[in-house]
Structure 1
Amino acid sequence: MKVGSGTSKLKMTLALSTLILFAVVFIPQCVGEGSIIGIIGEAAILPCELNFMTPVSIEDINFEWRAEGDIVDAFVKGQHELTNQEKQYRNRTELFITELAPRNLSLKVSHISPNDRKVYECWFFIDEDRNGYLDKWLLKVAGHYSEPLIKGPAKTDLRNRDADFICAATGGYPEPKVHWFINQKKVPPQSNRINTTITNISSEKYDVKSVLTINMTDDTSVYCTVENELLKEERKSTDIQYLVKTKNELHSGDRRHWWIAVIVAVALLVIIVIVAAVFRSRNNSASSGNNYDQAQQQVRTWNEQNPLQSINAED
């Protein structure tokens, strides 16, 4: 009984070992489900690879990618098979399997759009014992928003008045979050001072416009950010500043500017008068010198013409 029992246990151990070896050698390892982000208008690659150890020929592999039951792409006995491909994916898919890389079953999907947000499964078939799905991926879709533009009120006399600030960004996906900052402090998103409107301009893009109303009691610095949570991307606007002034301050500033202008004008006038006087004085001096020189020249000329009279005059 002991010998028979030992033999039975040995057979069971061998059978179990064979089963485990078969599982390791012939059954592929499923990576599990993950997620990949595809950017609208660009391409996304969904990885899939045969991981079992036995040699495999490309002619023996049959596999297909499925999304919600639809055939996205397929490969049958060494050939790219598109007969049953879902219309949505036509001319947009690419496979990487080759003679040199027979285990690479990855899929490339081009021109990503929000309609491509689905769960994709990589299924393979080699024989009755070697088949099943290898990888499962959730393809998420996103698009970058433009840098937000911010605009403030045109008025300058804002003390103790409500002022509207506008923040706008375009062309992103999915819907964003807008955050406002006043003097570097974040405004609570649920604040009733914020009114945000998101517009679906197409099936693939959103525009966002947010208005923040502030009661201007002091000098204020304002900026906004637009956040795409899926991309973990937050874009910031420029920082605009408003110096709050009362009417009296404005008028006082205007008067001060007026007096400065008057003083500058008077100073310029005085300088012009002084320069003109100096210039005139120099002209008069030059004119007197010229007259004296002319008289001396006339005397010398007369003496040359009347030498005798000049001698008598000297005697």
Structure 2
Amino acid sequence: MGPCWRCGSLGTWCVFGAQTALRCGLLLGLLALCACLEEKCILGIMGQPVLLPCLQPQITSSVNVTIEWRRGEDLVLRSTWRADGVVEEWSLDGAATPPDAPLTGNLSLQLPGPEPTTRRLRYSLRVASQENQSAELCSVCLQTAASFSSPLLRMEAAALPGGETAFWCHASGGFPEPAVFWLVDGGAAPEGSVSTWAAPLPDSHRYNVTSRLALNVSGDASVACVVQNPSTNETLTSMHGGAKVTGGPVVTSRAAEAMWIFSTALCAVVGVLVTVGVVYQIHLDRMSKRKKQEFQKQQNRGNKKKRRLEEEEEEVKLERKETDV
């Protein structure tokens, strides 16, 4: 049995473990639903300008306004609009807002190149004016990535000791570190046959990745090297069939589509479970309320009967007094 509560004059009633489990399930369901609805980040490609959107047309009527873009707590840009129309702007690493921002309310932040990091960066815009000293108007999430080059797949001409054949796969210039796997005749490569190395490029946060596959394979076998970058939602594939490299790099989104379908189905299931749980909880509350009303009615009936008996006793006493007199 689960925990017990005392509710007024109804006495003690217990909620069994099933109801407690239901409440826990509802809480977990809500958490999962929040995870499904997690805010999407803007994808910034390394080496390319990225725009963090923020439109506030109502600010065009303000004067003597100072806007500040921050990355976390670090100041990235400060722009002051004076009443005489002069705009004074300071920025870090070439960040800028549109020149006509005071006229259009377009306060979007343009970054010349996003900072390479595996963390999600939070940019926020705040406005300081005479009316409002610290009002946050925009908040934008930024995620950094870079695409890898098309994988180069080659087979070593000389066989290894034991008759094994070696295949090499190389891709470069991407971020963050990718996932690499091999397919042999459409199936996963045997365990222990793959070795992969990822190394950062000199003076850069980008990666070069090299992978080696060694196994006994027939001459007409199909071998594929797959490089996945989840941040850019890219899957690059190079295939080797027999003595000739066929196909070449192919960008496919099957894995991403499958993940999207799974996430959507999960959100739908969680939504149904939450709805069912809420309806069931409402049903339990109604039953509890009905029982409480019935109990109160029974108490009222008992009180009426008790008062009636007392009145009858009073009448009998009065008759006895009159008789004695």
Superposition TM-score, scaled by structure 1 size: 0.56
| Structure 1 segment 31-50 matched on structure 2, within 5 A | 34-50=40-56
Structure 2 counterpart SS, 1:59: coil
Instruction: Name stretches of at least 5 consecutive residues in structure 2 with no aligned partner.
Output: 1-37, 245-325
| Structure 1 segment 29-68 matched on structure 2, within 5 A | 34-50=40-56, 56-57=60-61, 59-68=63-72
Instruction: Name stretches of at least 5 consecutive residues in structure 1 with no aligned partner.
Output: 1-31, 244-315
Are 2:75 and 1:74 equivalent residues in the alignment?
Answer: no
**Residue identity (%):** 28
Q: CA offset at residue 212 of structure 1?
A: 1.0
Q: CA offset at residue 197 of structure 1?
A: 0.4
Structure 1 counterpart SS, 2:177: coil
The residue type equivalent to 2:184 in the other structure is: I
Q: CA offset at residue 133 of structure 1?
A: 1.1
Kept after mapping to 1: 8 A contact 2:57/2:104: no
Structure 1 counterpart SS, 2:63: helix
| Structure 1 segment 4-15 matched on structure 2, within 5 A | none
- The equivalent residue for 2:293 is none
Q: CA offset at residue 214 of structure 1?
A: 1.3
- The equivalent residue for 1:120 is 123
Q: Return the alpha-carbon distance in structure 1 between the equivalents of residues 177 and 114 of structure 2.
A: 17
| Structure 1 segment 92-171 matched on structure 2, within 5 A | 92-96=94-98, 98=100, 101-114=103-116, 118-129=121-132, 131-155=134-158, 161-171=163-173
- The equivalent residue for 2:182 is 180
- The equivalent residue for 1:234 is 235
Residue deviations 1:95-115 (CA, integer Å, cap 9, x gap): 026267442111000033416
Residue deviations 1:118-151 (CA, integer Å, cap 9, x gap): 3211111233447411222222111111100111
Superposition TM-score, scaled by structure 2 size: 0.55
- The equivalent residue for 1:17 is none
- The equivalent residue for 1:296 is none
Q: CA offset at residue 204 of structure 1?
A: 2.0
Q: 1:152 to 1:101 in 2, by over 3 A?
A: same
| Structure 1 segment 181-220 matched on structure 2, within 5 A | 181-187=183-189, 191-202=191-202, 203-216=204-217, 219-220=220-221
The residue type equivalent to 1:77 in the other structure is: W
Structure 2 counterpart SS, 1:48: coil
Q: Return the alpha-carbon distance in structure 2 between the equivalents of residues 109 and 220 of structure 1.
A: 48
Kept after mapping to 2: 8 A contact 1:40/1:204: no
Q: Return the alpha-carbon distance in structure 2 between the equivalents of residues 225 and 80 of structure 1.
A: 50
Q: 1:58 to 1:34 in 2, by over 3 A?
A: farther
Q: CA offset at residue 49 of structure 1?
A: 2.2
RMSD: 3.0
Which has the larger displacement, 200-209 or 116-125?
Answer: 116-125
Q: Return the alpha-carbon distance in structure 2 between the equivalents of residues 199 and 35 of structure 1.
A: 26
- What is the count of residue pairs matched by the alignment? 201
Larger Rg: 1
- The equivalent residue for 1:298 is none
| Structure 1 segment 298-309 matched on structure 2, within 5 A | none
Q: 1:217 to 1:102 in 2, by over 3 A?
A: closer
Q: Give every structure 1 segment of 4 or more consecutive aligned residues whose post-TM-superposition deviation is greater than 6 Å.
A: none
Q: Return the alpha-carbon distance in structure 2 between the equivalents of residues 47 and 161 of structure 1.
A: 58
Q: Return the alpha-carbon distance in structure 2 between the equivalents of residues 170 and 132 of structure 1.
A: 44
Q: CA offset at residue 219 of structure 1?
A: 3.5
